[in-house]
Amino acid sequence: MSRAFLFILDSVGIGGAPDADRFGDKGANTLCHVAAQTPLALPNLSSLGLGHAAQAASGHLPKGFTLETPLKGQWGFGVERSNGKDTPSGHWEIAGLPVVFDWGYFPKTVPCFPRSFTDALIARAELPGLIGNKHASGTDIIAEHGEAHMENAKPIIYTSADSVIQIAAHEETFGLDRLYEVCEVARELSYDLNVGRVIARPFVGADARDFTRTGNRKDYSIPPPSPTLLDRLSAAGRDVVSIGKIGDIYAHSGTGREIKAVGNDALFEATLEAMPGLRDGGLLLTNFVDFDMLYGHRRDPKGYGAALEAFDEQLPQALDRLQPGDLLVITADHGCDPTWRGSDHTRECVPILTFAPGMAPGSLGRRDGFADIGQTIAAHLGIAPLAAGKSWL
């Protein structure tokens, strides 16, 4: 029996989504635009075909890449079928469940949330009120309203282009458990709005000059409406290890043993520690969040590039832990071009890079749906086919 490993580089898109103009993202290209801003040295990802995938997806070879790099893996690119460019849509589709329904979103008005929702949240959570109530970058709105929040104990509430309600509060003056309680009420009240996630965004600091979001973020997601790859494996008694925010994204459905870690370095270390213990027939998946959270949304291409290089430098340690019969897939869930306008995700194709001991290099081509990844892993692990996707095995 074989094992599978799935590394999701959160937001590392490679441009070229055929419907990007529908999202206002025509021309966005996370990898190419990062490479144009800062020199990239990614020898290990390049050897798995990252440059080839980027060229095939968008018609543009990122600066510093070459198609002459000797390959040791198989590469392709995925075109998203889901209706949104948000995290749950990308992840669920990777796991064999494209999101073909429409999430609930909020208008770019101030206030942005329905009065019925905010009034009910204030009453049910026994709050003195709410501040913010608009589309915003998380770091910007905390800097704008954090000091007032510490004085009046009104949580900061905001949204983005995703189907999300984010609630920020100071860990010490407001309290972490209290923030979670408020988010649980918001989650219950927002089911009728078909909102994908409610996110608790705790922060610390004395004033706007040093406010910092902490690693105690917590996501309250809608459970996937149908079984995913993770559910199917768990139901079959297979080993599933979820590292990072995977558990939150899937509302802890089928996510098996969950390992929390903060930051890409800690996530990689946790992944390396867990790899040898994954049982035959099992799946280990890790979401490397820093690309998106620290650099994509904050529009920091140089930081994004440095994070890519750090991941690339660590990657051989994971490759060395693979055993005969194992399969590694490296992909992304959406784009978040740090040179693009605004601070939201960008609609892009994603790389699909695969490696297995003894694998012959080659092209997987264009995959019409991220669900091909989940279907391939299902085939590799020997479980019944998923409802969506086409295996390349």
pLDDT in tens, 174-227: 999 999 999 999 999 999 999 999 999 999 999 999 999 998 999 999 999 999
Strand 164-170, strand 197-204: pairing: parallel
Alpha-carbon gap, residue 347 to 24, rounded angstroms: 8
Alpha-carbon gap, residue 189 to 191, rounded angstroms: 6
CB distance 94 to 70 below 8 Å: no
Does residue 18 have a pLDDT over 70? yes
CB distance 312 to 42 below 8 Å: yes
Per-residue pLDDT of 27-41, as tens digits, reads 999 999 999 999 999
Q: Kindly report the CATH number that applies to the domain delimited by 4-97+224-381.
A: 3.40.720.10
Confidence of residue 1 (pLDDT cuts 50, 70, 90): low
Give, rounded to a whole angstrom, the gap between the first and last alpha carbons of the chain. Answer: 15
Does residue 374 have a pLDDT over 70? yes
Per-residue pLDDT of 73-122, as tens digits, reads 999 999 999 999 999 999 999 999 999 998 999 999 999 999 999 999 99
Confidence of residue 146 (pLDDT cuts 50, 70, 90): very high
Does residue 152 have a pLDDT over 90? yes
Strand 350-355, strand 327-331: pairing: antiparallel
Q: Which string of DSSP letters, residue by residue, matches 313-365?
A: HHHHHHHHT--TT-EEEEE-SSB--TTSSSSS-B---EEEEEE-TTPPPEEEE
Alpha-carbon gap, residue 13 to 28, rounded angstroms: 9
| Local structure of 291: helix, strand or coil | helix
* CB neighbourhood size of 162 (10 A): 23
Provide the mean pLDDT of the chain: 96
CB distance 41 to 69 below 8 Å: no
Alpha-carbon gap, residue 55 to 15, rounded angstroms: 9
- Assigned CATH topology for domain 115-221: Alpha-Beta Plaits (3.30.70)
Q: Quick one: pLDDT at residue 161?
A: 86
Cis-peptide, bond into residue 98, ω within 30° of zero: no
**For 243-270, what is the mean pLDDT?**
96
Domain residue spans in the chain?
4-97+224-381, 115-221
Of 77, 73, 28, nearest to 46 by C-alpha is 73
Alpha-carbon gap, residue 289 to 291, rounded angstroms: 6
Alpha-carbon gap, residue 173 to 153, rounded angstroms: 8
Alpha-carbon gap, residue 280 to 294, rounded angstroms: 35
| Residue for token pair 């966005």 | 28
**The total number of residues written for the chain in this structure:** 393
**Bridge partners, residue 259, by sequence:** 243
Alpha-carbon gap, residue 187 to 184, rounded angstroms: 5
Q: What angle do CA 257, 259, 262 make, to 5 degrees?
A: 165
Which helix (H) or strand (E) element contains residue 169?
Answer: strand 164-170
| Local structure of 214: helix, strand or coil | coil
* CB neighbourhood size of 192 (10 A): 10
CB distance 133 to 113 below 8 Å: yes
Confidence of residue 363 (pLDDT cuts 50, 70, 90): very high
Does residue 256 have a pLDDT over 90? yes
